[in-house]
Structure 1
């Protein structure tokens, strides 16, 4: 049972005992005193808005408050010493009059819906020893004068919306044993004064926004049993003396930005440790083998770090182990017996969770893996280099709810014994070399809700037994060699609500009419098969469908008019089939539709021109329709009904209103696109300096239409920029879609001209010694970083829909004549569509977006573009701006830019920063060769590089958003200048 659950009853008993033995003070009027308490309680009730259980109905004026529900009085003094109103579900706020309960010893208001702030007068309760106001809606700061409650032993404010910093004054509560501020909105740093709480046994500050370093003063808490600092933005190296608090039982620092090595002897220094959670940080070194000597330890969690080496021996000692999670590190093993350490866990009879995924483990799964505990519910082995067969003994792990061995090199057939795992809810076997047929026995997994078999070499038919799944949410059998028709039974369960992906197989036959029973499905992908017949009208009953992909099959007949009933449809791809007839006019009613591909069919008639908001690709067999579509493709995309198109009336102007310019005008403006006016080349074309007839100097981006992706880039850039306006975005003046002098298609975008070129030129190129003083000093670089952050903050947080750049790097940041930085080149940009439950991009291909070195790691495994991806690219660029080294620079060993900066920026900042920047500091007279940096410059550079590292962390969930980044950089600038 949790301590917070038993504490009120135990503590109440002691308080009543003490109060019964305490004599009344001389001269005190008991009747007058109880009247004061009664008035305070009446004021408390007056601010209670609702009381669902009617618990306060006994609070009547004619009776003594000592008889009221939840009110505890001392017998000798008849004064209110306790208020216990937890778990009543009351709403309202806490009255300041509570400060009049001068004899109050404990206050329990947990698990209600109280709002407002904590009254300052709580500090008047000098006798107060225990407060539990957890799980309410309290906001605002913690009153600093709560420190006046010098008898305090228990303070629990978790699960509220309390903001501001932790008052340093709390450090004066020398008797405090429990401090729980978990799950609030606290910011700032952890006050070193907390280290003065010598009686503290529990310190829980998790799930806030606390930053900075962990104070070394916490090492003085030698009575501490529970230290929980997870899910904050703490940074730096963990103070070594913190590992010397031998009383620690629970030690959690997960989901921060901490780095350094975990001491190899941590298990010897923390002999009472039962739970350690260091997940989602940047810890290096190896797994401390001394942890395996703690025979009573229950949970070891080290996932999502940079730990290397092998799994230490001694796992057979951990008989009480319940969780062992070292996933997503760099743990290695080799040879056939590389995974033999797994069998050492057979002694752990309470094991429930084992995660080894996302490492560099090599070897065969032990044949006797089935000897692991029958209590094991989750087994993660995916994302390694495991080969060989799946052992049949795995079927003995009857408690498994999750089995994931995806993305390895496992071969052979799927053993029938997996069908014995009757508690299984998720089965992941994807991305291996599995062959043979899918066993019918998998249909016995009646509790399954997610099935992933994609990316293997499975053959044969889809088992009809899959119709036994009554809880299945997602099924992905794509990219195999499956044949035959799709069993109609698969479509007969409405539970299938997330994904049905059978693409890239050799399936044949029609889509069963029963498809309409999938009324909750979000995505159906049957593309790249040999399916035939007509698309059933019942598809219109899939009312939750957002993605319908049927491309590259042999479907014939008409496009079902019932598709117009699927009002949430985002993407419809029916390309490369044998569909005929006209395009249903009612498709224009699909106001959410973003991508419609009907190309390579036998369609005829007119193309509906309303409703669809992006590219519509349609190619039909008639010459007349081809002429219509030729014109259509030159315009490229539609706006909604009555909206203006980019081609006919551009909305984004500089200072002079330009209509769509002609090819001849651009040829004249650029001197026939001469080499003298060439100012840059990109992936999809070239940029020229030009002068329009009005004398406006512009940059002309000419697309190479023969380059794959150029047309898509043109569309993306127009979509991204047609409605955005910000001082730190390069302004699009107009565009040109025409025919050149060789009768070839010509596409160009016309931008404002940026006099000072790209940021890349100033970091490493021809301009790095230009400007006043030669090059960019600290303030100028910081200004550039702030300008870019300001632009990205606008795109992510102020645009509707949000705009993702997807290719943020120095060459795409341009500088005007006043050295203001502006973000340009939106050729890979993506718009975000926000739904009521999630954000997702409008792209459906999950193509890898970005440039090498700047691409966030999650894009490499098929994750959709997101704002956090731009943040990663920004972080890399920020490091590049202040170090002068690109992410593709060749560092020693397996170092990358982020690892190199991380390894030394705190201890040897001068070795990390750009030598040109040090030269600037010397020229500015604020630094001298051979001398350390001034404290102000040192702190500014450390803070900036720290932000860059925090942005460029591998885990997207841990990255800051652009708004927070902008605020932090502005704060650094203010401190630096002042």
Structure 2
């Protein structure tokens, strides 16, 4: 209480003197500094046991923790060093009265509120560090009053607004760090007048516009970090004229044009990164002649072309070289292999090629690079045989990717020499021969894939030595013989793909002792019964055993596999009854039992109640099931009906008695129920609630004719409300929750929580909600949305051949516009809404189109709200399990990772590919180890039109368009760009996916290119 009183009295004194020391104590330095410190403590919320507990009258303030007093003025505070003191609360404005203060360090605490403008009174202040807190508001213009400031670090806060012009007056500033905030506007030109500035860090803000050409004035600058903004335009050539600049990061912006020649002449340069921009042009032949100090060069994800110049050997200190996803062509010069210090070499996603053995000489030369750990050469045009010299590379090598090339021949026989290898990806090539015997030496290997090659022979028993493996993909080869039982030793295995080979015999039971296994696929010639031990794999999510020769029944122990999402047992010789337990699996989305010899009654619960989720054709002895399956009635139905006739009187008697008792009970509890189920008037703040009776009338009693669709947690009806309630328009869509479904209530809360404060043109507008009870006294919950008259995107991409939209399809421009709309919605959700939101279930059926064909993202039943601007999901009330939808859900979700914005981008990438190919990600063509993404990647290497939606390819070849006619060149270029966009967004590695800003920029450019290529008549 005493501290509060002291602060109150001090506050009154300071208010009366415009926040300066009162005249009555101006001569008493001890009182002045001590009161300022006690004021600072009083505005903190730390407990008395904190590190500042000793800040009291019992000792001189110069002895308090974190307080430093001067030598010439021993009673004046010259420094406050309170970094990482676990302080919380606000920063007191009365720190501005510490007139001798030279250093203020409050970094890495939990401070909130605004940066006090009174700190601008500290004319002697040389260092101010408030980084890594939770400060908000703008940077005070008054900071320009700290004329002796040399270090200003406000990074990792929540500051917003523009950088104030007054900072341009801090002529002695050496270090300016404002990164990881929400600062907007352009980079002010007046910052470039700070000729003493050595370190400028503005990364991960929202700065836009062009880089000022006056950067050339910063002649003392050593490090420049502008990564993760929205900067556009060209890189100013003046940047390359700075004599001391050694570190430049311009990653994740929208910069265009070529890299200025002056950059290639910077002898001081040690690191240069322009990852994820729109840069074009070539690298000059002599680009590396002056870059003798260069250690890191990152040019990935741009539009650079031409060859890699041999002069790169002059940059002999390079340890990171990343030029992936550009248009570099030709062979890789031998000089790349002579980079002795190289640690990370990434050339993937280019047009680089190798046809003859001499084209692989760079790889042989890399044997002298003893620090090499990452070698990424995938998605290029490398061909010919892989040289045996690969086995001579450094034993420090951990990551090799050669996927999506045209490499032939055998895997080098001594590959086992690379004993520290953890990742080996050889997918989508033309490798032949068998696995080399030395392969069993790779005991640190985590991931191995030779999927879709031409390999053959037996799988060696010694494969069981690779006990660190968690992904083993052998899909799409000609391996033969029996599956080795030693695979059961791989106890960390998560995914096992053996499909589309020539394996024979039974599945070794040892495999199903691997409790971590979540994916198992095998399309071979396997025989025998399905092992009961399969039931031990209780985390198994996907089970593919189709196209084998299994016989017998489905083991009862499979009832333990509650995590199954996809089961395909089709085209075998299985018989007996179909077990009911599949209907109890809550997450089972697809069950294919077709073309077997099953008999008896088909269950009707769970997955069996959804005709689109099961396939049972080719089983002529089945009966019963739901009506949609059109199976014959079971023979046992007749005696059941006769028995029912004999019990009808008893049932009627029991029902009548029960009805009377229930009626009495309802009358007695009605008042109580009304109180407990009455909806909160603040639950959907700003959205007035409607009643159950209003919705009954609006939907004609929730009639089947008004049913728009049905999902896991609810059914959606078209309705027409009379009059207006709040903002309600007449036509609405009413989502009625299936409260009996586990997770439905959480889905309802998640959707309301995510949408109630959201306002964006491309989000489905939530009109109101209904929390009530129906006419039977049961709980009733519903959400009311604006009605979208043009239906879902799914209905346009995959129209019912018997429906009204049989002859309608979307032209290319319409598809690009819809993709832009969805990107705008995601950008708002992730970056610009009241709180960042992850949708978690983006797919074509959740994209709805209004009368003008504007896209609106809907169905937020799995949405997750982020906190503290993290990109990772923070647990909240919306705890519905994150699964999304099979085919659209990011692969990391299957490994148990938390939801993230990267997951939405993956789903968006799959949506792009679906729109361009006209194929669902769950298309039957993709069940044999091939995914939609890999299908498109193959098409990009060959005939692009082979993978494009026939409506679009026909329009291209025949000149047919519903709205406008594009030039063939513009259309082909746009199709390729869109397919690449989808592949990039759906990258397996979350951090490699594009951001929403990059997606919008790419789509905008594609749309502009299309419009410029329109043929006018």
TM normalised by structure 1 equals: 0.68
Task: Report the Cα distance in structure 1 between the residues aligned to 2:986 and 2:469, rounded to whole angstroms.
Answer: 36
Q: Residue 843 of structure 2: which of 800, 804, 809 is its match?
A: 804
Residues 790 and 256 of structure 1: CA distance in aligned 2, closer, same or farther (over 3 Å): closer
Displacement, 1:108?
1.9
Unmatched 5+ stretches in structure 2? 1-20, 633-694, 707-729, 732-765, 767-781, 860-884, 922-930, 938-947, 1005-1017
Q: Counterpart in 2 of 1:559? A: 554
Q: Counterpart in 2 of 1:385? A: 381
Q: Counterpart in 1 of 2:369? A: 373
What are the within-5 Å matches in structure 2 for residues 386-465 of structure 1? 386-396=382-392, 397-465=394-462
Residues 102 and 245 of structure 1: CA distance in aligned 2, closer, same or farther (over 3 Å): same
Q: Residue 36 of structure 1: which of 26, 32, 37 is its match?
A: 32
Task: Report the Cα distance in structure 2 between the residues aligned to 1:437 and 1:513, rounded to whole angstroms.
Answer: 25
- Describe the SS at the equivalent of 1:579: strand
Displacement, 1:422?
1.6
Displacement, 1:371?
3.0
- 2:283 pairs with 1:287: yes
Displacement, 1:762?
11
Residues 532 and 36 of structure 1: CA distance in aligned 2, closer, same or farther (over 3 Å): farther
What are the within-5 Å matches in structure 2 for residues 517-916 of structure 1? 517-526=513-522, 528-612=523-607, 615-619=612-616, 623=620, 625=622, 628=625, 631-632=628-629, 725-731=785-791, 748-749=802-803, 802-805=841-844, 815=851, 821=854, 837-838=898-899, 839=903, 848-851=913-916, 860-861=933-934, 889-891=967-969, 896=974
Q: Counterpart in 1 of 2:339? A: 348
Task: Report the Cα distance in structure 1 between the residues aligned to 2:846 and 2:993, rounded to whole angstroms.
Answer: 16
Displacement, 1:897?
8.8
Deviations 1:564-605 (A, max 9, x none): 433332222222222222222222222122122222222223
Q: Counterpart in 1 of 2:994? A: 957
Q: Counterpart in 1 of 2:1011? A: none
Displacement, 1:545?
2.4
Displacement, 1:503?
1.4
Q: Is the 8 A contact 2:96 2:120 kept in 1?
A: yes
Deviations 1:901-941 (A, max 9, x none): xxxxxxxxxxxxxxxxxxxxxxxxxxxxxxxxxxxxxxxxx
Q: Is the 8 A contact 2:152 2:176 kept in 1?
A: yes
- Describe the SS at the equivalent of 2:310: coil
Q: Residue 512 of structure 1: which of 505, 508, 513 is its match?
A: 508
Task: Report the Cα distance in structure 1 between the residues aligned to 2:230 and 2:399, rounded to whole angstroms.
Answer: 31
Q: Counterpart in 2 of 1:937? A: none
Q: Residue 349 of structure 2: which of 353, 358, 376 is its match?
A: 358
Query: Which region of structure 1 is more displaced relative to structure 2, 786-795 or 155-164?
Result: 786-795
- Describe the SS at the equivalent of 1:272: coil
Q: Residue 244 of structure 1: which of 221, 235, 241 is its match?
A: 241
Displacement, 1:116?
4.2
RMSD of aligned Cα (Å): 5.1
Unmatched 5+ stretches in structure 1? 1-24, 636-650, 663-695, 698-720, 736-744, 765-780, 865-871, 901-946, 968-978
Residues 723 and 825 of structure 1: CA distance in aligned 2, closer, same or farther (over 3 Å): closer
- Describe the SS at the equivalent of 1:155: strand
Deviations 1:391-434 (A, max 9, x none): 22222321111111222222211113221112211111221111
Q: Counterpart in 1 of 2:879? A: none
- Describe the SS at the equivalent of 1:436: coil
Displacement, 1:821?
4.8
- Describe the SS at the equivalent of 1:850: helix
- Describe the SS at the equivalent of 1:292: coil
- 2:273 pairs with 1:277: yes
Residues 553 and 99 of structure 1: CA distance in aligned 2, closer, same or farther (over 3 Å): farther
Q: Is the 8 A contact 2:604 2:625 kept in 1?
A: no
Residues 469 and 181 of structure 1: CA distance in aligned 2, closer, same or farther (over 3 Å): farther
- 2:285 pairs with 1:220: no
Displacement, 1:610?
2.7
Displacement, 1:634?
10
Q: Counterpart in 2 of 1:322? A: 319
Task: Report the Cα distance in structure 1 between the residues aligned to 2:842 and 2:404, rounded to whole angstroms.
Answer: 32
Q: Residue 255 of structure 2: which of 255, 258, 262 is its match?
A: 258
Task: Report the Cα distance in structure 2 between the residues aligned to 1:845 and 1:559, rounded to whole angstroms.
Answer: 34
Q: Residue 202 of structure 2: which of 198, 201, 205 is its match?
A: 205
What are the within-5 Å matches in structure 2 for residues 331-342 of structure 1? 331-333=328-330, 338-339=331-332, 341=333
Q: Is the 8 A contact 1:786 1:966 kept in 2?
A: no
Q: Counterpart in 1 of 2:96? A: 99
- Describe the SS at the equivalent of 2:786: coil
Task: Report the Cα distance in structure 2 between the residues aligned to 1:894 and 1:730, rounded to whole angstroms.
Answer: 28
Deviations 1:331-366 (A, max 9, x none): 111xxxx33x1x324543321111111111112321
- Describe the SS at the equivalent of 2:288: helix
Q: Counterpart in 1 of 2:14? A: none
Q: Counterpart in 1 of 2:169? A: 172
What are the within-5 Å matches in structure 2 for residues 967-978 of structure 1? none
Task: Report the Cα distance in structure 1 between the residues aligned to 2:812 and 2:410, rounded to whole angstroms.
Answer: 56
Residues 843 and 544 of structure 1: CA distance in aligned 2, closer, same or farther (over 3 Å): farther
Q: Counterpart in 1 of 2:465? A: 468
Task: Report the Cα distance in structure 2 between the residues aligned to 1:182 and 1:652, rounded to whole angstroms.
Answer: 54
- Describe the SS at the equivalent of 2:38: helix
Task: Report the Cα distance in structure 2 between the residues aligned to 1:517 and 1:761, rounded to whole angstroms.
Answer: 50
Task: Report the Cα distance in structure 2 between the residues aligned to 1:899 and 1:847, rounded to whole angstroms.
Answer: 11
- Describe the SS at the equivalent of 2:432: strand
Residues 182 and 33 of structure 1: CA distance in aligned 2, closer, same or farther (over 3 Å): same
Q: Is the 8 A contact 1:728 1:790 kept in 2?
A: no
- Describe the SS at the equivalent of 1:314: helix
Residues 508 and 318 of structure 1: CA distance in aligned 2, closer, same or farther (over 3 Å): same
Task: Report the Cα distance in structure 1 between the residues aligned to 2:174 and 2:405, rounded to whole angstroms.
Answer: 49
Q: Is the 8 A contact 2:909 2:986 kept in 1?
A: no
Q: Counterpart in 2 of 1:127? A: 124
Task: Report the Cα distance in structure 1 between the residues aligned to 2:997 and 2:801, rounded to whole angstroms.
Answer: 37
Residues 139 and 480 of structure 1: CA distance in aligned 2, closer, same or farther (over 3 Å): farther
Residues 267 and 593 of structure 1: CA distance in aligned 2, closer, same or farther (over 3 Å): same
- Describe the SS at the equivalent of 1:545: coil
Residues 855 and 263 of structure 1: CA distance in aligned 2, closer, same or farther (over 3 Å): farther
Q: Counterpart in 2 of 1:188? A: 185
- Describe the SS at the equivalent of 1:161: coil
Query: Which region of structure 1 is more displaced relative to structure 2, 613-622 or 546-555?
Result: 613-622
- Describe the SS at the equivalent of 1:295: coil
Query: Which region of structure 1 is more displaced relative to structure 2, 449-458 or 209-218?
Result: 209-218
Task: Report the Cα distance in structure 1 between the residues aligned to 2:313 and 2:598, rounded to whole angstroms.
Answer: 68
Q: Is the 8 A contact 2:504 2:524 kept in 1?
A: yes
Q: Counterpart in 2 of 1:67? A: 63
